[in-house]
Amino acid sequence: MARLAHQQGLKTVYVTNGYMTEDALTDLSPDLDAWRVDIKAFTEDFYRKVCRARLQPVLDTTIRAKELGLHIEIVNLIIPGQNDSPEETEKLVSWVIENLGPDTPVHFTRFHPDFQMQETTGTPVRTLERAFHIAREKGLLYPYLGNVTGHEYEQTWCPHCNNLLIGRSGFSAGPIHLDNGKCAHCGEKTGIVTRL
């Protein structure tokens, strides 16, 4: 599908849990433009118990995607009592900055009870806000909150002048205050790609 899309001049985004071999990613990468990966937690214990997998291969593959030139975005679903500690958020953010760069978008997403985790409560908004503030304090330029429609941290803010760059509400985007990748308010280069 990605190859056919590229032949028609379309861009592609691979939405993944990141659990694949380096060879598979290398084979796919010529037909991919962006890599949106769920890093479900930042402990091997969570991955072993909840996902029946391992964290390190996800991290390794994500680094490889960056090396292959793909645009990277991270989603971290924050589940109360499972992966919501400030320490875990700090470790995730530090890893992202060190391995992918401070301009890597990280979406901290609100959990809601569903399927096999109906006994777990939804994520308190204040827990997501704490993750957002930890990310900004550690130097991450573009943290976001997800599944909190209408929240101010769902938006993209200029890290230089703090004005709105991209407005969002749920799955809708706009207004967009970018001019050729620069903040329309202060002219700071953002590196944000609005269209791949």
| pLDDT tops 60 at residue 196 | no
Instruction: Tell me, yes or no, whether 135 and 106 share the same domain.
Output: yes
For residues 59 and 102, membership in a common domain is answered with yes
Q: Which two tokens stand for residue 155?
A: 């938006």
Shared-domain flag, residues 36 and 120? yes
What's the CA gap between 159 and 137, in Å, rounded?
Answer: 11
Total count of domains within the chain: 2
* Together in a domain, 179 and 145: no
Q: What is the pLDDT of residues 117-165, one digit of tens each?
A: 778 888 999 999 999 999 999 999 999 999 999 899 999 999 999 999 9
Residue 36, both tokens: 């949106």
My answer on whether 141 and 160 are in the same domain is no
28/94 same-domain check: yes
Do 110 and 188 have their domain in common? no
For residues 185 and 161, state if they share a domain: yes
Residue-wise pLDDT for 60-77, tens only, equals 999 999 999 999 999 999
pLDDT at residue 174 tops 50: yes
Q: Judge if 113 and 177 occupy the same domain.
A: no
Instruction: Give the best-scoring range by mean pLDDT among 91-95, 164-168, 184-188.
Output: 91-95
Long-range pairs, 187-194, Cβ under 8 A, ≥24: 188/158, 188/159, 188/160, 188/161, 190/103, 190/158, 190/159, 190/165, 191/103, 192/142, 192/156, 192/165, 192/166, 193/71, 194/166
- The CATH number of the domain where 129 resides is what? 3.20.20.70
Q: Same domain for 83 and 124?
A: yes
Residues 47 and 19 in one domain: yes
- Where is 181: in which H helix or E strand? none
Mean pLDDT across 89-105: 97
Domain that holds residue 107: 2-154
190 with 144, same domain?
no
Rounded (10°) CA dihedral 110, 114, 118, 121: 10
